[in-house]
Structure 1
Amino acid sequence: MNGLRYPCLVRDFIQDRLYQPNKGYFMKPDHQLGQLTGELRYHDFKGIHSYREAIGEKYPKYAFLTPVEIFQPWYGHAIANYCLEKQKSPTIKIIEFGGGTGTGALSILDFYKNNHMQTYKKVNYTLCDISPVIAETAKARLSKAHPELYRNGQISVIAKSAFDYQKITEEFTYIIALEMLDNLPHDRVWMENKEYCLQSMITEDLEEKKEPLTDKIIKDCLDVYTNMPPMSDSDRESEYAEGFIYNLIKYWNRKKYDNLFLPTGIYMLMNHFKKVFTNPHFIFSDFDFLPGKKIKGINAPIVSKKGEKSNEKKDFSTFLTPVGEADIFFPTNFRFIQELNRKIYGKSGGVAKSYKFMEKYAKSNWTETQTGYRPLFDDFRNTSFFTSD
Structure 2
Amino acid sequence: MLVRREVGRRLAEYYAQSADAVVGSTGVASIGLSSLWGEWHWKHVDQKLYDSQKGQWLTPVELFKPYYSNVLANFVSGTLSSIELSESQSVDLVELGGGRGTNAHLILNHLQFTRPDLYERLSYTIIDSSPSLSELQKNTLGSSAHAERIFYQHTDLLEVAEGSASLLSPSDNPTVVIALELLDNLPHDKIRVRNGKIDQAEVHPVVGSENEVNQTEEVFVPLSDDLLKSVLLAAPSYKRVPISWIPTVACGVLRHLPRERPNARLLLADFDWLPPPDRLQVEDNNWHRRSVWASGEPIVTSMDDVDHECYLQAPPCCDILFPTNFAKLAAFVQNSWTNPRMEVKVEKQADFLQTFGPTEVDRTRSWLTSYSPLLHDFGNCSVLTIAPT
- Per the shorter chain, which TM-score range? 0.7 to 0.9
Give the equivalent residue in structure 2 for 1:353.
348
Partner of 1:284: 268
TM-superposed deviation, 1:186:
0.9
Tell me what 2:370 maps to. Answer: 372
Partner SS state of residue 290, structure 1: coil
Which of 263, 267, 270 is the aligned partner of 2:251? 267
Q: Among 178, 181, 184, which residue is 2:183 paired with?
A: 181
Q: Identify if the C-alpha distance between structure 1 residues 324 and 129 changes in structure 2 by more than 3 Å, giving closer, same or farther.
A: farther
Cα distance in 2 for partners of 1:26, 1:355 equals: 29
| 1:266 Cα deviation after fit | 1.3
Whether 1:215 aligns to 2:204 is: no
1:46-83 deviation line (CA, Å, top 9, x unaligned): 11122122222223235112222221111110011111
Distance 1:316 1:261 in 2: 17
| Residue matched to 2:44 | 53
Q: State the secondary structure of the residue aligned to 2:187.
A: coil
Q: Which residue in the other structure is 2:385 paired with?
A: 387
Which residue type is aligned with residue 386 of structure 2?
S
Question: How far did residue 201 of structure 1 move?
Answer: 1.3
SS in 2 for 1:145: coil
Question: Residue 126 of structure 1 corresponds to which residue in structure 2?
Answer: 125
Instruction: Please tell me whether residue 105 in structure 1 is matched to residue 104 in structure 2.
Output: yes
In the alignment, is the contact (CA less than 8 A) between 1:28 and 1:324 conserved in 2?
A: no
Deviation at 1:321, TM superposition (A): 4.1
Secondary structure at 2:384's aligned position in 1? strand
Root mean square deviation of aligned Cα: 2.3
CA distance in 2 between partners of 1:320 and 1:143 (Å)? 39
CA-to-partner distance for each residue in 1:292-332, whole Å, 9 max, x for gaps? 2578321111111243xxxxx21110011457421111111
Give SS of 1:201's match. Answer: strand
SS in 2 for 1:175: strand
What corresponds to 1:28 in structure 2? 17
Distance between the aligned counterparts of 2:153 and 2:171, measured in 1? 16
**Matched position secondary structure for 1:380:** coil
| Partner Cα separation in structure 1 for residue 376 and residue 307 of structure 2 | 26
Q: Which runs of 5+ in 2 are unaligned?
A: 206-214, 279-291
1:372 CA drift (Å): 1.1
Q: How many percent identity over aligned positions?
A: 27
Q: Aligned-pair distance for 1:132?
A: 1.8
Following superposition, the deviation at residue 89 of structure 1 comes to: 4.3
Change (3 A) 1:89 1:63: farther
Q: 2:191 touches 2:199 (CA, 8 Å); kept in 1?
A: yes
> Aligned runs of 1:242-261 on 2, under 5 Å?
258-261=242-245
Give the 5 Å matches for 1:2-13.
8-13=1-6
Q: Structure 1: state its 5+ residue gaps.
A: 1-7, 230-255, 308-312
* Contact 2:269/2:381, CA 8 A, preserved across alignment: yes
C-alpha spacing 1:95/1:62, structure 2 compared with 1 (3 Å): closer
In structure 2, distance between residues paired with 1:113 and 1:198:
51
Q: How does 1:189-204 map to 2 (within 5 A)?
A: 189-193=191-195, 195-204=196-205
Question: Contact 2:232 / 2:238 at 8 angstroms: preserved in 1?
Answer: no
Report if aligned partners of 1:17, 1:321 keep a CA contact under 8 Å in 2. no
The aligned residue for residue 301 of structure 2 is 304
**Matched residues in 2 for 1:327 and 1:35: separation?**
18
Q: Is the 8 A contact 1:189 1:196 kept in 2?
A: no
Letter in 2 for 1:56: Q
Q: Does 1:18 align with 2:11?
A: yes
The one-letter code of the counterpart of 1:223 is L
Count of residues in Structure 1 that have an aligned counterpart in Structure 2: 342
Partner of residue 341, structure 1: 333
Alpha-carbon displacement from aligned partner over 1:212-233 (angstroms, at most 9, x marks no partner): 222222222222332489xxxx
C-alpha separation in 1, matches of 2:180 and 2:217? 33
Letter in 1 for 2:257: F
SS in 1 for 2:297: coil
Deviation at 1:388, TM superposition (A): 0.7
Pairing of 1:203-242 with structure 2 (within 5 A):
203-204=204-205, 205-227=215-237
Residue 136 of structure 1, CA deviation: 1.7
Q: Aligned in 2, Cα 1:318/1:64: closer, same or farther, shift over 3 Å?
A: same
Question: Matched residue of 2:75: which SS?
Answer: helix
Change (3 A) 1:12 1:323: farther
2:310 corresponds to 1:318 = yes
Q: Using the alignment, how far apart are the partners of 2:262 and 2:140 within structure 1?
A: 30
Distance in 2 (CA, whole Å) between partners of 1:29 and 1:212 is: 39
Distance 2:235 2:201 in 1: 18
